[in-house]
Amino acid sequence: MATSLEISAEYMVGRMRLGYENIAKFLACSLFEALINAKYENLLHHGRANQPADPRIDTLQYRIDQLDDQTLCDESLNRYRNLFTAYVRRMPDGTEIRTEYYRRSEVKRLKEVRTRLHNFRHHRNAIIHGHEETNLFPEDTFEFIIYIWAELANSSFETHLRHFKDVPAIGCEEMLKSIWEISADYMIRAVDELKVRDGDETYSGLSSNDFENMFELRRKMAGLQNDLKEWLKGPENIVSHLTTDILTTIDTTSAYMWMPFVSSHINPGNIPVGIYNCCVSILATPRDFRIYMDFGGYAKEQRFAYYQFLASKDYESWFGNHKSDEEMKVFDIDWYSSIFNAMPLNDWVGSNQMRITLAAEKLIIARRPVTWNRMLHGYCIDAESLSSIDSLCFNRITGYLHKIIDFYGVFSSFKPRMTFDDYVKLTPEKRKQLWKIS
């Protein structure tokens, strides 16, 4: 599980990306101090640093000066050389200039890394003491934020670096701006998620009254998440490879809450794994409760594979075994949760070629994050259909989950004939030919 410092670093990045610069900067100051202190205390513990003779000089400046060459070599400032390219150097006349790191000498570069840490210390002091106008280089703030992110939450930092592989050539400010809003939003939500992730709530069923207050509904959903974690671990459970990822937080403007299920072989981070992939999901709105297979905002290639699956013999075989399931629906989604075109599973096949074609063409012009989904399969329980007597019980939910996980397994085993990149290169006529249902 992520540490509080890791989650705080991601929260800082999310706030900075969404425009809450002052919150992000003050949090960065606190995290920078905690980071330097942790490095120094670790060196002290292993006998690689010295305690000051006079406690009055035990300052951040002293602790940075105590960092040894190995620690400086391991610094993000040294490891991500294409991203952190310069430090601030004071000239003899007292002026300051940004100077590129000297790359041919490791000894000199490590000295410059230490200087850059002192630059950040000055930057931190100016923010804390209200003298930010003395920070002459605006880009220092972005490097300050990115540096702390790389140090304290390296896993999510690396994830974003992989998704934005050209970023190191354009700088820290551009990297922050290239983070999608939905990712930044989940970075912020992860802090609230900590409050319930290890809670002892248990699930007691849902009735229509619970859907009138999303805060009450989320409390019950937290209990459901806890119980499902245990259910998924059961040795007799055929779906024990899955685990819950996150239960999204809500406020008075929220339209839904989402609980994705991901492979337990993937280490779920604070940015939900589900937004990168296809996943089994539970989603609740004030009007309904859904158990279905979903595609995250990053999962463009997987959406295209899904459209091929719907036009395949594999799907035809699955459909033949499940078409009598009167409760399963096929439906479309806009803006993450707004449902339309819902119809019983057995009714949709007559229009599937046209709908698959339209969805694939729409995907070509879609920008990430993709906020819509088409032809999702799942169960939608209307809130008004539930009562205190006939509530949505745990066994009913797990029964639906088993069926969706089975569908997810069939799709996961499917081998698509074509990549999305190759599909885009086809002429419109050839693209239409691809969707002739098997």
pTM of the model: 0.70
The string of pLDDT tens digits covering residues 96-135 is 888 887 666 778 889 999 999 999 999 999 999 887 776 6
Residue-wise pLDDT for 360-370, tens only, equals: 999 999 988 89
d(CA 178, CA 80): 18
Interior/surface letters 75-103, b for 16+ CB within 10 angstroms, e for the rest: bbbbebeebbbbbbeeeeeeeeeeeebee
The pLDDT, as a whole number, for residue 377 is 98
Ordered by start, the domain boundaries in the chain are: 4-179, 199-434
Quote the tokens at residue 258.
Answer: 């989402």
* Cα separation, 276 vs 298, whole angstroms: 5
Q: Please write down the long-range contacts of 158-163, taking CB distance under 8 Å and 24 or more positions apart.
A: 159/269, 159/271, 163/298
Whether the CB-CB separation of 40 and 67 falls below 8 Å is answered with yes
CA proximity to 194, closest of 17, 7, 5, 30: 7
Low-confidence ranges of the chain (pLDDT < 70): 1-2, 102-104, 134-136, 163-170, 192-200, 235-240, 264-276, 437-438
Q: Which two tokens stand for residue 182?
A: 């939905």
Q: Are strands 86-90 and 288-295 parallel, antiparallel or unpaired?
A: unpaired
End-to-end CA distance of the chain: 45
pLDDT in tens, 220-256: 999 999 999 889 887 655 555 788 878 888 878 889 9
pLDDT at 29: 95
Kindly give the interhelix angle for 181-197 and 4-17, rounded to the nearest 10 degrees: 150
Angle, vertex CA 109, rays to CA 107 and CA 112, nearest 5:
115
Q: How much is the pLDDT for 240?
A: 56
C-alpha torsion sign, points 97, 101, 107, 112? positive
Nearest Cα residue to 336 out of 292, 383, 384: 292
Look at residue 270 in the predicted model and tell me its pLDDT. Answer: 45
Per-residue pLDDT tens for 261-289?
Answer: 887 655 444 444 455 689 999 999 999 99
Report the 10 Å Cβ neighbour count for 413: 9
Q: For domain 199-434, is the CATH number 3.40.50.720?
A: no
